[in-house]
Homo-oligomer: A and B are copies of this chain.
Amino acid sequence: MTEKATPSPEAIKAWARLMRVSRQLVESAEDALKASGLPPLAWYDVLHELAEAGEGGLRPFQLIERTLFAQYNISRLLARLEADGLVEKLPVADDGRGQTIRITAKGRETRRRMWAVYGRSIAELVGARLSPEELNTLSALLGRLRHPPAGD
């Protein structure tokens, strides 16, 4: 057996840092959005995926794959986005169970305004604290912690 039941001190420290820092960063970014009267990060994640998907839109289950949100979570998040007019739900021709979600013009505009704030947070919290080389090192190390591990 190659598994270890007890983690090394190095692993514990890296884990602890990862937990703490990620929570801090999320909180900072959320605070910045809130302070600007904008929706929470979760909305950005979905709007971002939909904006990248273009006119074809995405099925809810595709959003689940891309964002890691739970199924019920996406279902309700999309309901809120639709209620706000940021996305629209279209029937799918060849699958009566499903629907296609497409971002609206208002949704694109909201995403743009969110990015103005969110992007600034990223620049300040991460971009300003590590050099490009260090950022690449960090990305590579984090990539190896993914499931499945990232190639680049």
Task: Report which A residues bind B (CB closer than 8 A).
Answer: 2-8, 10-15, 17-28, 68, 116, 119-120, 122-130, 132, 134-139, 141-147, 149-150
Contacts and interface: CB of A to CB of B under 8 A. Distances in A.
B6 A119 contact: yes
A135 B19 contact: no
A27 to B, nearest CB: 7
Please state the number of chain copies in the assembly: 2
B68 A126 contact: no
User: Is the contact region of chain A dominated by helix, strand, or loop, or is it mixed?
Assistant: helix
B7 A122 contact: yes
Contacts of A12: 119, 122
Contacts of A10: 127, 132, 135-136, 139
Contact of A25 (B18, B135, B149): B18
B141 A8 contact: no
Contacts of A134: 141, 144
